[in-house]
Amino acid sequence: MSNKPTYEELEARIRELEQAAESRSETGDPDIIRTLSESFQQLADHSQDAIYLFDIESGTFPFFNKRFLALFGGREKGRKVLTSGSVAQHIHPDDADTLRKARKSALAAGGSEGEVEYRYIGSDGTTRWMHDRWSVVRDSQNRAVAIEGFIRDNTQRKQAEEELEHSRNSALIGSYILQDGRFRYVNPEFCRITGYSKKKLTGMQSLDLVHPDFRDHVLKCAKQMLAGKRTTPYEFRVVDRKGLVKWVMETVTSVKHEGARAALGFFMDITQQKQVAQEQRDKEKLMAILEMAGAVSHELNNPLQVVLIGIDKLAVPNLEPSQKMDLITLIKKHTLRMMDLSAKIQKISQYATKDYVQGKKIFDIDAASTDPPRDPENHPKGK
């Protein structure tokens, strides 16, 4: 056999050989029976799984393949032996009780099969994971007389599972599995972010963590992402166990968990980034206010000085009528200029700056205003 047979393939072939042996035995032909027995042994020896038949009454192994002997055989007086004791020596002490209980449960009245995973200790001291699966052979009175089983080395699969679990538990991103809207699995980082224990989160409705203002948003985004209509993460607020509000970023994808449809989510705390961004916006807003204050001060200073000087000169006695009219016109012009500036400030819709003294910048009111600059000279009199 070039490919490793499955449990099912081995069991089916063994059943075929057993049935053939039973039908041929009626003829009493020893050559046929011997040929079938040899075929059975060859089939078993080609398997990469360990195969055994354990007789309960005698405590011996009437049948086993090469793989089983290589794994569980011992040495007595310089020769290879296979006994219950040699098998027990290779079972990890911490798993021996688990194996005994599983066997006892399978041998109980009516039991027909069983399976268990345990650690195997090799002759060189290395440890591997084994998956032992067996069937109980019973007599006509339903008494258990033997156990026939297959043992497969699951070390690579177990290591992969452990590495995956370690990766999940040490991840800097929270992860979880949802089924029917409830948490079925959460990793330590998810527990840290939410403040809840794994026990408390398991079975909890996922929306219970979401801030009420964001629940509709989360449902909408999650459905779009699970349906493949959205690819970008979405942000929302959650409330942790202590009542603190946090910002998180999330993605979800559809998976199967324990044979049923589920959602796998990845969950990142972005509260600090949000705070930094808000602080940056506050700084930019303050800077804009300062720049605008400088611009208003700069733009108002000149016309205001002209108005004040003009008013002072109007108070001079014996002022010629023509001089008085010139002063009034000048005061009006600069007053209208200040009114125009005030109107522009009210219509600012964008951010713009211009160079000022000593390399500084001030707010450019003209560029930021939605209306084009207004010429005070063209204002109708009296307005």
pLDDT in tens, 172-228: 688 999 999 999 999 988 999 999 999 999 999 999 999 999 999 999 999 999 999
Query: For residue 10, what is the enclosing H or E element?
Result: helix 7-25
Predicted TM-score of the model (pTM): 0.44
Distance CA 142, CA 307 (A): 117
Same fold? 7-152, 171-269:
yes
β-strand partners of 307 = none
276 pLDDT band (50/70/90 cuts)?
confident
Model confidence pLDDT, tens digit, residues 284-308 = 777 777 777 777 777 778 888 888 8
Question: Per-residue pLDDT for 376 more than 70?
Answer: no
Stronger pLDDT, 239 or 11, i.e. the higher one: 239
DSSP 315: T
Domain ranges of the chain: 7-152, 171-269, 274-378
Supply angle C-alpha 168, 171, 172, rounded to 5: 150
For range 320-345, the mean pLDDT: 85
pLDDT in tens, 84-115: 889 999 999 999 999 999 999 998 867 889 99
> pLDDT confidence of 23, banded at 50, 70, 90?
low
Phi, psi (degrees; rounded to nearest 5) at 7: -55, -45
Average pLDDT over residues 220-237: 94
CB-based contacts of 338, cutoff 8 Å, min separation 6: 300, 303, 304, 307
Burial of residue 258, with CB atoms counted within 10 A of its CB: 0-12 exposed, 13-18 middle, 19 or more buried:
exposed
Tell me the C-alpha distance between 369 and 373, whole Å.
Answer: 8
Percent of the residues in the chain that have a pLDDT greater than 90, as a whole number: 35
Q: Domain 7-152 classified CATH 3.40.630.190?
A: no
Q: Per mean pLDDT, which range of 64-68, 160-164, 209-213, 253-257 is the poorest?
A: 160-164
CA distance 270 to 280: 15
- DSSP tag of 347: T
**Inter-residue contact 133 to 149 (CB < 8 Å):** yes
DSSP bridge pairs for 177: 185, 264
Largest Cα span, the chain: 154
| Planar angle of CA 356, 360, 362, nearest 5 degrees | 60
Please state the rounded mean pLDDT for residues 259-270. 91
Give residue 46's pLDDT.
72
Class of 171-269 in CATH: alpha beta
